[in-house]
Chain A
Amino acid sequence: MTRTRQAIQGLLLFLPAFIVIFGFIFFPVGYSFWLSLTNKHAVFPHYEYVGFQNYAWMASEQDYWLSLWRGVIFSVGSIFFQVLLGLLAALLLNEAFFGRGLVRGIALFPYMLPTIVVILLWKWLLSASYGPVNYVLQALGLIQAPVVWLGEELLMASTIFVAVWQFFPFVVISLLARLQTIDLQLYEAAAIDGANAWKRFRYITLPALRYVLFVVILLRTFFMFTKFDVPWLMATGGGLQVLVQNLPVYAFRRTFRFMQAGEGAAVSVSLFLLLIVLSVVYFRTYRREAGS
């Protein structure tokens, strides 16, 4: 077989992967960037090239910075509690007790539910006018008047709570898988050496989990920063939306509410770049830590 023929065959074999990667990754990202340089209407075809005008608009727009800030609060808050709760649940579910299999199944349940179901469920439970949570708290005499869980003051906290409830099982699955592979002899040896439970956790469990935690936190960061459905549905695209509006929701509103696809694309590109920078910083920090 000639070298040319080999090269052609090689290219042909490479082609499907190239089409998939180019078509599903590079093209949409590139098209988004191109859109962000136009004043494209979201629905109608006409547009003009406007250079970096949308980025200049974005930088001067208070709502953009507020959305970024609220996105940070939502993401950091929900990731922190997902990891904390996930870790505690994984440690618990790693212990031997009667009915462990059943409890493990139930613990994964929230993650298996569609987000719309989760939100409708919690909005109903937390409603101030007809929600069972307030009803029970009132019946127990713990509160005098209904707590406005979905009002101005607590909406962000409620949104974080719902996100934690739905997504902490992801952390549980990941950590539990690693916990089950830690050599039990390490614990036995540590116990003989006089290490208490905290020390065993601090010096055996936690180091064993660090690689998994690294990946989990990285993935959850991507997932939560780009989360659209939870903040959107919690406020139903309504009056209080602005209080839980992160960048994906803001990009959606600029695109499909204001019909400014160019501006929406600029917001999306900024989020994309932000996540890339975050990932690079995170990776570098981790490598430095791992190296030391």
Chain B
Amino acid sequence: MTGMHSISRRGFLKGVAAAAGAGLGPAILTRSAQAQTRTLQIWHTEASDISVKAVQKVCDRFEQMHPGAKANQQGIAWADLGPKLYTALAAGTPPDIAHLNCYHFRSFQKQGAIVPIDDVYRAIGLNDVVESVRDMTLFQGKRWGISHHVGAPALMIRKDIAEQAGFKVPDDISKPMFPTWKEQLEYLKAVSKPDKRQWGMSLPGTGYFLQEHLGRWVGSNGGTFYDEKWNPAFHKEPFIQTLEFVKALSDNKVVPPDWLSQSWLGMIVEFSTGITTMIDHGYGRIAGSIEKYAPDKASEEYFMPIWRPVGPSGKIPYTDMDAEIWVIFSKSKLRDLAKEWLKLFYTRDMYLNYVRQYPVHMPPILKSLRKDPEYQALPELKKWRNWVRMQEINIDRGLAIPVGVYYPATNIQIPFLAEVFDSGIIADEIVGFVQGRRKGKEAAQRITDRANDLIKKLGYPVPDPIRSEKKL
């Protein structure tokens, strides 16, 4: 070859080895440095900028208090946490601390994936924690997770539209506007005007949220997802009646025609902008959306919580408890440090700074903070007074049950809740019924059968999977 620099094979191989060394060297050094500095990995679902800043404040303070320790946080979109966490767990590399949905806790506990955190509770004061979340993860005498806040979604109504249609929205939020679903449906028919693009109510098509709606309605209809022996109870009358209610909403065209494809955010936009007049998904975070999409109407003059009606077989209106938990993973090599981070998170100033980012959405779990004058003076709590009050009533009266657990709250101890709920079986069959592909009873029976099939595959005896725990 003329004009070209020749290279020997040995030289070439040396070059390749040097390049590989140069590439891998920094990575090896970084890993070694990370090991020496003891880095906590924290994943959470409060991914908005302001919440990330609040969590960062805890991390910064933590690093000051623990020289040589670092705390890396990652705010992950709520829907992305599950897949990311599952992948990390499957690879054997979970973070040290992460948020979990309440209904996930027993699956993780049963598999030995998380550790008890009683000393965190002791450090922050067990009796200072709101009762509804204090004992939520109590199992075998130990507590396995701690909620980062405790909220409850409310049934919300567009007060101005209701009054224009001749309906009175009660000022007392604990007085029902509609005693039962029947009256609610009549109201929705009265305010629905599809030709003017106005529908009575928003419903989500997203599987998770659809199941969430169904769960709280089944509870408000005297039903449950599981009986006392942990057998699926989807085929029972209260569940079937609830399915029929969903179908009635769809058939009577009181929900937007493409509701089965509607996302969480789309539903909130519909409600905020007056396309729909009611939403049974009044998580406090929506207050922010209303302020964004309908700033001129962002007050309780327009958006009011109302008491939830019950179904034909129900007496008590239930709602969900929104209270994701912090857990520490058993694979963590920094468990003690992780506990210290959690203790710091709940110290008064840090925790106040965290909950004040979304005060309507994030009622604190500490009784002392609830009474704190600085917390009570937050303007959002005054602006959306009834919204906050409705959450307090539901939580304090035990009417809020953790998402996915439906009902009673003790069902949180069922170790396969996560798998059945996340499978989407329930949503699949709701849709099959709403679209007329199956009868209500058939759809309900199919949910029970498919759930039983999955429970069996997970290694629990069917019927009565509770037998798997009898030795405990």
Q: Measuring CB to CB, which residues of chain A are less than 8 angstroms from any residue of chain B?
A: 9, 12, 16, 39, 41-46, 123, 127-130, 144-146, 148-152, 155, 234-242, 253, 256-261
Report the minimum CB–CB distance from A204 to chain B (whole Å): 43
Verify B422–A43 contact, CB threshold 8 A: no
Instruction: Tell me which residues from 400 to 429 in chain B have a Cβ below 8 Å from any Cβ of chain A.
Output: 418-419, 422-424, 427-428
Can you list 14 residue pairs at the A/B interface with Cβ under 8 Å?
Answer: A123-B263, A129-B257, A129-B270, A130-B275, A146-B197, A151-B257, A234-B261, A237-B207, A239-B430, A241-B207, A253-B424, A258-B419, A258-B454, A260-B457
Contact among B261, B424, B432 for A155, CB-based, below 8 A: B261
Given A43-B86, A259-B419, residue A240 in contact with residue B256 (CB < 8 A): no
For B104, give the chain A residue with the smallest CB separation.
Answer: A43
Report the minimum CB–CB distance from A268 to chain B (whole Å): 15
Contact among B90, B207, B257, B435 for A42, CB-based, below 8 A: B90
- Please name 15 further chain A to chain B contacts, defined as beta carbons within 8 Å, in addition to the given A16-B16, A146-B197, A238-B205, sorted by A numbering: A9-B13, A43-B86, A43-B89, A43-B111, A44-B111, A45-B92, A123-B266, A129-B270, A235-B205, A237-B206, A237-B424, A240-B431, A253-B423, A257-B423, A259-B458
**B431 contacts across to A, CB distance below 8 A:** 239-240, 242
Interface residue total, chain B, C-beta cutoff 8 A: 49
**A256 contacts across to B, CB distance below 8 A:** 82-83, 86
**B279 contacts across to A, CB distance below 8 A:** none
Query: How distant is the Cα of A148 from the Cα of B259 in the complex, in angstroms?
Result: 10
Contact among A9, A148, A234, A258 for B257, CB-based, below 8 A: A148
Given A43-B90, A146-B197, A150-B258, residue A238 in contact with residue B206 (CB < 8 A): yes
For A252, give the chain B residue with the smallest CB separation.
Answer: B83
Contact among B16, B92, B260, B269 for A240, CB-based, below 8 A: B260
**A39 contacts across to B, CB distance below 8 A:** 457
With a 10 A CB-CB cut-off, give which of B16, B82, B92, B423 has the most chain A CB atoms: B423
Query: How distant is the Cα of A236 from the Cα of B267 in the complex, in angstroms?
Result: 13
Verify A259–B422 contact, CB threshold 8 A: yes
Q: Is B210 an interface residue (CB 8 A)?
A: yes
Contact among A42, A236, A258 for B261, CB-based, below 8 A: A236
Contact among B83, B86, B194, B210 for A238, CB-based, below 8 A: B210
Query: How distant is the Cα of A128 from the Cα of B195 in the complex, in angstroms?
Result: 11
**B351 contacts across to A, CB distance below 8 A:** none
Q: Is B273 an interface residue (CB 8 A)?
A: yes
Verify B199–A236 contact, CB threshold 8 A: no
Report the minimum CB–CB distance from B463 to chain A (whole Å): 20
Instruction: Tell me which residues from 438 to 472 in chain B have a Cβ below 8 Å from any Cβ of chain A.
Output: 454, 457-458
Verify B89–A123 contact, CB threshold 8 A: no
Verify A238–B89 contact, CB threshold 8 A: no
Q: Is B9 an interface residue (CB 8 A)?
A: yes
**B457 contacts across to A, CB distance below 8 A:** 39, 260
Given A128-B257, A145-B195, residue A239 in contact with residue B207 (CB < 8 A): yes
Contact among A128, A259, A260 for B256, CB-based, below 8 A: A128
Q: How does the 8 Å CB contact mask read for B9-36 relative to A, with 1 for contact and 0 for none?
A: 1000100100000000000000000000
**A151 contacts across to B, CB distance below 8 A:** 257-258, 260-261
Verify A9–B9 contact, CB threshold 8 A: yes
Given A236-B205, A240-B205, A258-B423, residue A130 in contact with residue B269 (CB < 8 A): yes
Q: Is B317 an interface residue (CB 8 A)?
A: no
Report the minimum CB–CB distance from A19 to chain B (whole Å): 12
Q: Is B204 an interface residue (CB 8 A)?
A: yes
Given A129-B270, A152-B435, A257-B424, residue A235 in contact with residue B90 (CB < 8 A): no
Given A146-B197, A258-B419, residue A44 in contact with residue B89 (CB < 8 A): yes
Query: How distant is the Cα of A145 from the Cα of B194 in the complex, in angstroms?
Result: 7
With a 10 A CB-CB cut-off, give which of B204, B435, B454 has the most chain A CB atoms: B435
Verify A44–B113 contact, CB threshold 8 A: yes
Query: How distant is the Cα of A213 from the Cα of B418 in the complex, in angstroms?
Result: 47
Verify B210–A239 contact, CB threshold 8 A: yes
Verify A238–B207 contact, CB threshold 8 A: yes
For A128, give the chain B residue with the smallest CB separation.
Answer: B258
Verify A146–B89 contact, CB threshold 8 A: no
